[in-house]
Amino acid sequence: MNEPPIVIIGAGIAGLCTALAAAPRKVLVLSRGSAGNDGATPLAQGGIAAALGADDSPAQHAHDTVIAGAGCNDLEAVAVLTTQAAEAIVWLQQQGVAFDRDGDQLSLHLEGGHSHARIAHAGGDRSGQRIAHALAAAVAKHAAHVTLQSGCDVDALLLREGRVVGVRTRDHNGQSQQIMAAAVVLATGGIGALFACTSNPPSANGAGLALGLRAGAAGRDLEFIQFHPTALAPNDGALPAQLPLISEAIRGAGARLCDGDGRALMAAIDVRGDLAPRDIVARRVWQARHAGASTWLDARSIGERWPERFPTVFAACQAQAIDPRREPIPVLPAAHFHMGGLATDLLGRTRVPGLFAVGEVACNGVHGSNRLASNSLLEGVVFGRRLGAWLADDIATPAATGALQTLALGPPLDVANWQRLRQLLWQHLGPVRSASGLDTALATITNNPSLAASWPGELARALLNAARQRAYSIGAHYRSDDALGTHSPKVRCCSPSG
């Protein structure tokens, strides 16, 4: 009898790194899109953070990570991330990733929240795309142990005596299939598509998180959602499903945020100015827009090198008839990254036997309440490799005894109710929150039968309840009704929630 494979759901950086590291175990990677083009990884403009400079160290990288996370980070997870970052860069190079270089050295860049230039790029602002394609090519070379199956959704987990032992898939034609597994790894990405303004693709809709929660996995820090301060605002005012991102590296290269009169937005807000951590900058842009001001990123100082240094952003601006060499770029904040997720240990284990999670859908506490720029791709590599290596050595094939239970997601939403939910969460679960707004959102979902019965509505309630329970401001979770009005880790402490 053939041994069932390890099933990995998602072909982004975390899923592909897990698959490569699981050799020689048989692995089946399931994805909606093709490997190298699935999820948010190929959209990432920033690179990978690693303390590679002569004046830098993993300890300083860890310090910056904890400062950005407002002290809510799991320090052991941070130590793993930062001490293994340099090795992750070397390993990626071995998989075929060609990082940008200055002569014989990697070219290192500065982003918000970092005290040193430590961001390695691949192809300028095409880093995510270059890395994803290199990993997909590496997986293709390991066809003896990794099989890729694209064009399918996983809509149910199969359990036997409380242990996850497989999945049910559904293809674009509606045909379903049951697949048995030695272990199931959720590498399904984030939740940005639940918000009206997002940098995430439509596939980042939280389905993997919802499925894990339904199976009994614990949620952790579900309220910690990062909003990127600079998405490209549409010139016609109509919000598309996904907003083009204006990389933080552009502010690292000297761009400045301003209002319609040219006044600096971050003046007197933070000593780090435009390179303050994302939660602070995104909140300032949000507040300025809600006060009636227009918000712009003035990057004219980059000059004629724009197409060479930031080709992706330049092309997105040109598509809206904007020339960033000669005029400011209209920007607005957008849902970008979920620091919370399914609670895991440092090996990706959830509390449900046989169910693992890695990457953005997981939460081991490494990011705290606000992710430091360019730590997300790094997380996928470091913890994906750790999980894959552990699965290769330690996971046993479950015994085929007991009745098989199918645990499916609830009903989906139609297009109109999806839009209602996205607007609702953007309005009340965005960069600035309050008890009254959160209560309004919860009541709206409860009183709408379609929303209340759906799996997106169920997930939205979990997010809103987590935000409601944390009645103070910290990191990316900002409560306008917090009496102390602080997010200082000296005053508050974090605990798992959700």
Q: Indicate whether 470 pLDDT > 90.
A: yes
Q: Are residues 140 and 251 in the same domain?
A: no
What pLDDT digit, counting tens, does each position of 233-283 carry?
Answer: 987 767 777 888 898 889 988 999 999 999 999 988 888 899 887 888 999
What pLDDT digit, counting tens, does each position of 96-154 carry?
Answer: 999 999 988 999 998 878 999 999 999 888 899 999 999 999 999 999 999 999 999 99
State the pLDDT confidence band at 59, using cuts at 50, 70 and 90. Answer: very high
Domain boundary among 308, 333, 358: 333
Q: Are residues 149 and 170 in the same domain?
A: yes
Query: Count of alpha carbons within 13 Å of 153, Cβ hemisphere only?
Result: 17
Domain boundary among 301, 333, 365: 333
Q: Are residues 202 and 65 in the same domain?
A: yes
- The reply to whether 498 falls in a domain is no
Note the pLDDT of residue 463. 98
- The reply to whether 33 falls in a domain is yes
Q: What is the pTM of this model?
A: 0.92
CATH number at residue 175: 3.50.50.60
Domain range holding 461? 411-493
**Tokens representing residue 192 in the block:** 């940005």
Q: Are residues 357 and 371 in the same domain?
A: yes
Average pLDDT over the chain, rounded to an integer:
92
- The reply to whether 286 falls in a domain is yes
- The reply to whether 57 falls in a domain is yes
What pLDDT digit, counting tens, does each position of 304-337 carry?
Answer: 999 988 988 999 999 999 999 999 999 999 999 9
Q: Tokens 């046989």 — which residue?
A: 354
* CA–CA dist 273, 109 (Å, integer): 17
**Tokens representing residue 133 in the block:** 């394609």
* CA–CA dist 34, 10 (Å, integer): 10
325 catalytic per annotation: no
Q: Are residues 403 and 439 in the same domain?
A: no
Contacts of 439 (CB under 8 A, 6+ apart): 468
Single out the catalytic residue among 278, 433, 468, 492: 278
Q: Is the dihedral of CA 437, 443, 448, 453 positive or negative?
A: positive
Note the pLDDT of residue 186. 98
* CA–CA dist 81, 87 (Å, integer): 10
Residue 362 C-alpha from the chain's centroid: 10
Q: Are residues 133 and 267 in the same domain?
A: no
Span between the terminal Cα atoms of the chain, in Å: 41
Q: Are residues 382 and 346 in the same domain?
A: yes
Q: Indicate whether 485 pLDDT > 60.
A: no
Q: Tokens 């999670």 — which residue?
A: 357
- The reply to whether 416 falls in a domain is yes
* CA–CA dist 463, 472 (Å, integer): 16
Number of Cβ within 10 Å of residue 321's Cβ equals 7
Q: Are residues 80 and 220 in the same domain?
A: yes
Domain boundary among 409, 444, 468: 409
- The reply to whether 147 falls in a domain is yes
Q: Are residues 65 and 173 in the same domain?
A: yes
CATH number at residue 299: 3.90.700.10
- The reply to whether 149 falls in a domain is yes
Q: How many domains is the chain partitioned into structurally?
A: 3
* CA–CA dist 418, 249 (Å, integer): 32
Residue type, 83: T
* CA–CA dist 498, 487 (Å, integer): 19
Q: Are residues 199 and 282 in the same domain?
A: no
Q: Are residues 240 and 381 in the same domain?
A: no
What pLDDT digit, counting tens, does each position of 15-47 carry?
Answer: 999 999 999 999 999 998 877 787 888 888 889
Average pLDDT of the residues in 67-92: 96
Contacts of 146 (CB under 8 A, 6+ apart): 19, 20, 22, 27, 28, 29, 139
- The reply to whether 295 falls in a domain is yes
What pLDDT digit, counting tens, does each position of 212-236 carry?
Answer: 999 999 999 999 999 999 999 987 7
Q: Are residues 51 and 171 in the same domain?
A: yes
Do you find a cis peptide bond into 4, omega within 30 degrees of 0?
no
